Structure 1
Amino acid sequence: MSASHRLRVAIILFNLGGPDAPEAVRPFLENLFTDPAILRVPGFIRPWLGKFIAARRTKAASENYAILGGKSPLLELTQEQGRALAAALAPEMEARCFTAMRYWHPFAEEAARAVKAWGADEAVLLPLYPQFSTTTTGSSMEDWKAACARVGLELPTKALCCFHSDEDFARSTAAMVRAAHDAARAELPAGVALRLLFSAHGLPESIVKRGDPYQWQVERTVEAVVDRLGIAGLDHGICYQSRVTPQKWIGPSLEEALEQAAKDKVAVLVSPIAFVSEHSETLVELDVEYRELAHKLHLPGYFRVPAQNSDAGFIGALAGLVRRVRGGNRALCSFAGARQCPKAHRDCPHARAREAA
């Protein structure tokens, strides 16, 4: 490498993806429900069962995306985050962000080809999931590895598994929560109490029992954010949304939390603590479906904290994480470097990496 050559750093942003047109809803759902990390049934059953589930859910999902104009806004928002992150890292490094969606375009293989064409010298894998789960970051990491093999992309790579309790992430999230809390409090009569509900995407209980660290990490995120909020006597709780299968999921559900709030006659402020971009789970589930439920339950108030999107504090936190990952000597690291999950969480990626070694 010549002295004049600046190191080209490819930052791979992992995210779920979403349909980009009404006709993409069903194939998007098929990709989702045929992922072995999502539908954990024997391989010979999965393709049939996954397509069956997708077919059953297409109508409802299409109605949700119709509210959003027929498509998910996730790709554009992720690309905006990528541009903001690259700008935050300049001029210290020549960084370019590439989006690798798991279930719809641009897929990992498209991103890998773009990284190769750009001539990157190294890569940083950056999930836009603060908390690690085998169903999200874990699946994306496996998908990226396979995509690189298919396109012949070989370059030094470091991966971040999670940033659930990262100081800058917690601080920037707390600032957004505090602003929404103050605004909600200003709208409510003085005698009406306000409960802060941190809502995360749910997960089947069986996956957590097998060692997935997601729920533990969600709880750590909430602890970190509440600590930095500094609101004395804060009434708050954790709940989960977006259940899609009949098996038992971790709880309490957001429905249950709203029902309890109605019994307690308190208003609620919902913070999407596991999502960093607006998409159907926030714009439709939280803003439409759960708002309607809150109205039916006669809650005295229903408010929502916005997702981070390209919030300057959040982008600054991501930039700090990239610097830390690149400056460390670990191919796989958490926001704090070493493994953070207790040993009981056998599906922590650090534990899996050690078993594979």
Structure 2
Amino acid sequence: MAVSRQARIAVILFNLGGPDSLDAVRPFLFNLFNDRAIINLPQPARWCLAQLISRLRAGTACAIYSELGGASPILPQTENQAQALAAQLASRGFTHSKCFIAMRYWHPFAEETVAAVREFAPDHVILLPLYPQFSTTTTQSSLEQWRGLSADLAAREHVICCYPEAAGWIAAQADLIQASLAGMAGDTPVRLLFSAHGLPKKIVDQGDPYPGQVAQTVAAVVDKLDMRSEEHTSELQSRLHLVHIELVD
């Protein structure tokens, strides 16, 4: 895609979102479980189940977020990414670009971001989900919600979707791991655990590519680190269980 450096470019960074206070934990959980991509039930059954789950899980979740300072760090971290990306675009001559954030389950919601993008009046809209691996429950859910709110922007939109083996991203993960390993005593036995969020088996059986793309990422990082098979393991985790995943060649 050839884009003039004089064009007005809106880059939308999509992420899951997280509660910005302990009072926001329960409504955040409700929004999460009321998403049809997460619980595929018709309304009002999904609404009722989301209310029940969010009420039952709120106490445990609040305790976890209390250990994080009373809020999720995901928005400040995403804001840092947006600022870094904006600086990179400006340094390459795209001085009329602007980065926006759209969270799926808490502020800033897509509705808020769509309004801000319309006010910016861009020539191009770049949709950039910050999920390296594609899933119907993350990337697809975020994009479908956005498109349901932004039909008037559709002709200007371009999607950057799923990059489980992108060289720069793999190198960044390897650098972070190497920095951690460098701080350990030389003779300390190390076994690296790659952990990613799990999916219900039903969703995977319907063809969701997420577990396979996670395995691709792990294989690429392991190759970059030149690690032996006995030096690492990989798990998909959920609240209830761990499921071992096989690496792809």
TM-score (normalizing by structure 2): 0.90
Code of the aligned partner of 2:213:
Q
**Match for residue 236 of structure 1?**
232
**Match for residue 209 of structure 1?**
205
Q: Is the 8 A contact 2:5 2:93 kept in 1?
A: no
**Match for residue 193 of structure 1?**
189
Select which of 128, 131, 136 maps to 1:129: 131
SS at 1:120's partner residue? coil
**Match for residue 114 of structure 1?**
116
Output the CA distance in 2 between the equivalents of 1:103 and 1:71.
Answer: 14
Q: Is the 8 A contact 2:192 2:233 kept in 1?
A: yes
Cα drift, residue 232 of structure 1: 5.2
Output the CA distance in 2 between the equivalents of 1:121 and 1:155.
Answer: 10
SS at 2:150's partner residue? helix
Output the CA distance in 2 between the equivalents of 1:24 and 1:132.
Answer: 27
Aligned in 2, Cα 1:221/1:5: closer, same or farther, shift over 3 Å?
closer
Cα drift, residue 120 of structure 1: 1.0
Select which of 137, 140, 143 maps to 1:138: 140
Q: Is the 8 A contact 1:13 1:125 kept in 2?
A: yes
**Match for residue 227 of structure 1?**
223
Output the CA distance in 1 between the equivalents of 2:88 and 2:220.
Answer: 24
Output the CA distance in 1 between the equivalents of 2:153 and 2:112.
Answer: 12
Q: Which moved more, 1:73-82 or 1:41-50?
A: 41-50
Aligned pairs for 1:1-357 (under 5 A) are: 6-90=6-90, 91-93=92-94, 94-149=96-151, 152-184=152-184, 186=185, 190=187, 192-231=188-227, 235-243=231-239, 251-252=243-244
Aligned in 2, Cα 1:30/1:217: closer, same or farther, shift over 3 Å?
same
Output the CA distance in 1 between the equivalents of 2:236 and 2:223.
Answer: 21
Aligned in 2, Cα 1:119/1:5: closer, same or farther, shift over 3 Å?
farther
Percent identity between the two aligned chains: 47
Aligned in 2, Cα 1:121/1:174: closer, same or farther, shift over 3 Å?
same
Cα drift, residue 211 of structure 1: 0.2
Aligned in 2, Cα 1:13/1:194: closer, same or farther, shift over 3 Å?
same
Output the CA distance in 2 between the equivalents of 1:29 and 1:131.
Answer: 22
Code of the aligned partner of 2:119:
A
Deviations 1:126-150 (A, max 9, x none): 111110000001100001001214x
Unmatched segments (≥5 aa) in structure 2: none
SS at 1:131's partner residue? coil
Cα drift, residue 230 of structure 1: 2.1
Output the CA distance in 2 between the equivalents of 1:233 and 1:26.
Answer: 41
Unmatched segments (≥5 aa) in structure 1: 254-357
Deviations 1:112-133 (A, max 9, x none): 1111111111111111111000
Output the CA distance in 2 between the equivalents of 1:25 and 1:58.
Answer: 6
Output the CA distance in 1 between the equivalents of 2:178 and 2:149.
Answer: 41
SS at 1:105's partner residue? coil
Output the CA distance in 2 between the equivalents of 1:26 and 1:250.
Answer: 25
Cα drift, residue 202 of structure 1: 1.1
Code of the aligned partner of 2:132:
P
Output the CA distance in 1 between the equivalents of 2:220 and 2:93.
Answer: 30
Deviations 1:165-190 (A, max 9, x none): 01111112111111112223x2x6x2
Code of the aligned partner of 2:54:
A
Code of the aligned partner of 2:137:
T
Output the CA distance in 1 between the equivalents of 2:217 and 2:30.
Answer: 31
Code of the aligned partner of 1:223:
A
Deviations 1:263-288 (A, max 9, x none): xxxxxxxxxxxxxxxxxxxxxxxxxx
Cα drift, residue 240 of structure 1: 2.1
Code of the aligned partner of 1:217:
Q
Q: Is the 8 A contact 1:204 1:250 kept in 2?
A: no
CA RMSD of aligned residues (A): 2.0
Code of the aligned partner of 2:77:
L
SS at 2:243's partner residue? coil
